[in-house]
Amino acid sequence: MNSNWITTAEAVAMMSKNSHHLVSPSHVQTLVNRGKIGTRSLRGGTIALKRSDVQATRVAANIGSSHRDKH
């Protein structure tokens, strides 16, 4: 894959590291749907995410986590 485009799994790892907490794949999809992260379709139906958009995105704590505090 071109270095300007990454997979959702790579985006989750990058955003989690940059935000200092776990970011879920569903939250990444939410950001894509809101137009915050650019995409492109590849052969076979794979969707690639724009690396520069992912790198510029920070997710606040308690937003985009795959698990919530249940207190």
Question: Is residue 21 in some structural domain?
Answer: yes
Residue 69 counted as domain residue: no
Tokens 């907490």, residue located: 21
As given in the structure block, the two tokens for residue 67 are: 């698990």
Where residue 70 falls among pLDDT bands split at 50, 70, 90? Answer: very low
Tell me whether residue 47 is in a domain: yes
Range of the domain at 51: 5-56
Please check whether residue 43 lies inside any domain of the structure.
yes
Which comes out higher in pLDDT, residue 34 or 2? 34
Residue 39 in any domain: the answer is yes
Answer yes or no: is 40 within a domain: yes
- Domain assignment of residue 26, yes or no: yes
pLDDT-based confidence at residue 60 (cuts at 50, 70, 90):
confident
SS3 41: strand
Domain count, the chain: 1
pLDDT for 14-41, tens place per residue? 999 999 999 999 999 999 999 999 999 9
Q: Is residue 71 part of a domain?
A: no
